[in-house]
Amino acid sequence: DGGITQSPKYLFRKEGQNVTLSCEQNLNHDAMYWYRQDPGQGLRLIYYSQIVNDFQKGDIAEGYSVSREKKESFPLTVTSAQKNPTAFYLCASSGTGLSQPQHFGDGTRLSIL
């Protein structure tokens, strides 16, 4: 969906380094989400936010942090505490009404150097 932009497309992290993945949407959606996808696996929820300045932990929040200072933006920081960060990271957004599907960005592939 052209309304959600993730950057960069590829990212490399050195040991002990924090890295930040960007997610911007122009769909005027209140809710935003971060998922991690390992090869051949499903989507695991890291964090989600239903409104500006508020966010909740998902199923695998340890080693990650987020902020939601603007409606359009929901950056994800992968901290050095995340010992196995290599994965495909997907950002999504949705409206908060009934029957509102999630729209996904193109993803960021993170690898360890």
Partner 1 sequence: GENVEQHPSTLSVQEGDSAVIKCTYSDSASNYFPWYKQELGKRPQLIIDIRSNVGEKKDQRIAVTLNKTAKHFSLHITETQPEDSAVYFCAARPSTSGTYKYIFGTGTRLKVLA
Residue 78 vs 90, nearer CB to partner 1 = 90
- The residues that bridge with 12 in the sheet, in sequence order, are 111
Q: How far is the CB of 80 from partner 1 (least distance, A)?
A: 27
Q: How far is the CB of 89 from partner 1 (least distance, A)?
A: 11
Residue 37 vs 80, nearer CB to partner 1 = 37
Residue 17 vs 56, nearer CB to partner 1 = 56
φ, ψ for residue 8, nearest 5 deg:
-75, 175
- The residues that bridge with 89 in the sheet, in sequence order, are 36, 108
What is the three-class DSSP state of 68? coil
